[in-house]
Amino acid sequence: MQPNNPKSPGQKFREALRNEKPLQIVGAINANHALLAQQAGFNAIYLSGGGVAAGSLGIPDLGITTLEDVLIDIQRITNVCDLPLLVDVDTGFGPSAFNVARTVKSLIKAGAAALHIEDQVGAKRCGHRPGKEVVSKDEMVDRLKAAADARIDEHFVIGARTDAFANEGLEKTLERAVAYKEAGADFIFAEAVPDLSYYRKFVEATGIPVLANITEFGMIPMYTVEELGEAGVELVLYPLSAFRAANKAAQNVYQHIRKDGTQKNVLDTMQTREELYKSIGYHAYEQKLDDLFKKNQDGK
Ligand SMILES: C[C@](O)(C(=O)O)[C@H](CC(=O)O)C(=O)O
Ligand SMILES: [Mg+2]
């Protein structure tokens, strides 16, 4: 916590949740995208597990990344961007409650505001793929109790993600959601729940905020923020939208430079130097350097 900024990231996340209904949370694959999201007016950002895997490591979202991989990306983002950051910690990075506790403490120290932890088995899959397996309700409850107990900042937000819908159907998944709330979850992430009316059921059953994951090319139709708001959803997640768009743009640029022998034809798809400098505050840094240098000279 900065002395001139007394609110913790967790407090900022809770405030954003109170002020924006529903709260739109966009994925930021790196520090640069975090700044772009901030400049576009978002009040909260997200570090996607699938994004850390595919974007930072070039591997699939199958529980291969480590806590350390995720912490590096968190720190890079929180070092430059003061928006509250929700982090995907998959199944918590370890078999035991002690691992979950270590994950929570490390995230708080790295400047994260919130996390979501899921009830899949350690060898997890993307929530929108077939073949998912979930642990028992009791095992997930233990994960959540360990997470809640490890909060070294009481405002840090813990989201419980359930992937059970695909295997167990609505009623059993609602029962899990209620048990997760009782174990200390601050919000419920109802993963890959395809129907708008089901979200309302999670809201009514648990009485805590519910997150809808509007990821593209998945199982959920692209409901608008208004539609989700009317269904009682309080958090709307767009985990990989900018990442997918940036990848497509990069692919197009590579193909054109290779094919055309020049980048002239794709220049209008690029962020300009000036736009980049603006978003990362290049000129302000330069000015600081000049001021500092002048001061040193004057002091000679
Ligand atoms: C939200 C998610 O967990 C993520 O890692 O971003 C993914 C998103 C995706 O693969 O589209 C998930 O839904 O499992
Ligand atoms: Mg994930």
Chain segment 156-179, per-residue pLDDT in tens? 999 999 999 999 999 999 999 999
- For ligand 1, whether the C-beta of 111 sits within 6 Å is no
Spot the catalytic one: 33, 128, 155, 161.
161
pLDDT at residue 104 is higher than 80: yes
Q: How far apart are CA 283 and CA 67, in angstroms?
A: 35
Which among 30, 46, 176, 198 is annotated as catalytic?
46
Query: Ligand 2 centre from 49 Cα, in Å?
Result: 4
Quick: pLDDT tens for 126-159.
999 999 999 999 999 999 999 999 999 999 999 9
- Ligand 1 binding pocket mutation candidate from 29, 33, 48 (most atoms within 8 A of CB): 48
pLDDT of 293 reads: 83
User: Is 250 domain-assigned?
Assistant: no
Instruction: Provide the number of structural domains found in the chain.
Output: 1
Q: Is the CB of 35 under 6 A from ligand 1?
A: no
CA distance 82 to 96: 32
**Does 51 sit in the ligand 1 pocket, CB within 6 Å?**
yes
Measured in degrees and rounded to the nearest 5, phi and psi for residue 258 equal -70, -45
List, for residues 221-273, the tens digit of each pLDDT value.
999 999 999 999 999 999 999 999 999 999 999 999 999 999 999 999 999 99
| pLDDT at residue 300 greater than cutoff 60 | no
Tokens of 12: 């900022």
Q: Is the CB of 159 under 6 A from ligand 1?
A: no
Ligand 1 atom at shortest distance from the alpha carbon of 52: 5
Q: Output the domain CATH number for residue 88.
A: 3.20.20.60
Is 215 labelled as part of a ligand binding site?
Answer: yes
The verdict on residue 80 lying in a domain is yes
Asked whether residue 294 is domain-assigned, the answer is no
Q: Has residue 249 been placed in a domain?
A: no
> Is residue 139 among the annotated active site residues?
no
So what's the pLDDT on residue 298?
60
Hunting for tokens 């992937």 — which residue is that?
163
* Residue 202 amino acid letter: F
For the entire predicted model, the pTM comes to 0.96
Q: For residue 20, which phi and psi values (nearest 5 degrees)?
A: -120, 120
Give 277's pLDDT tier (boundaries 50, 70, 90): very high
Structural domain of residue 134, as residue ranges? 9-240
pLDDT of residue 292: 87
Residue 182 in this model has a pLDDT that exceeds 80: yes
Does the structure show a pLDDT above 80 at 206? yes
Whether residue 108 lies inside any domain: the answer is: yes
126 marked ligand binding residue: yes
State the Cα–Cα distance between residues 155 and 18, nearest whole angstrom.
14
Q: Known binder of ligand: residue 90?
A: yes
Task: Report the complex ipTM.
Answer: 0.99
* 266 located within any domain: no
Is the pLDDT confidence value at 1 over 60?
A: no
Which residue is associated with the tokens 């979850």? 185
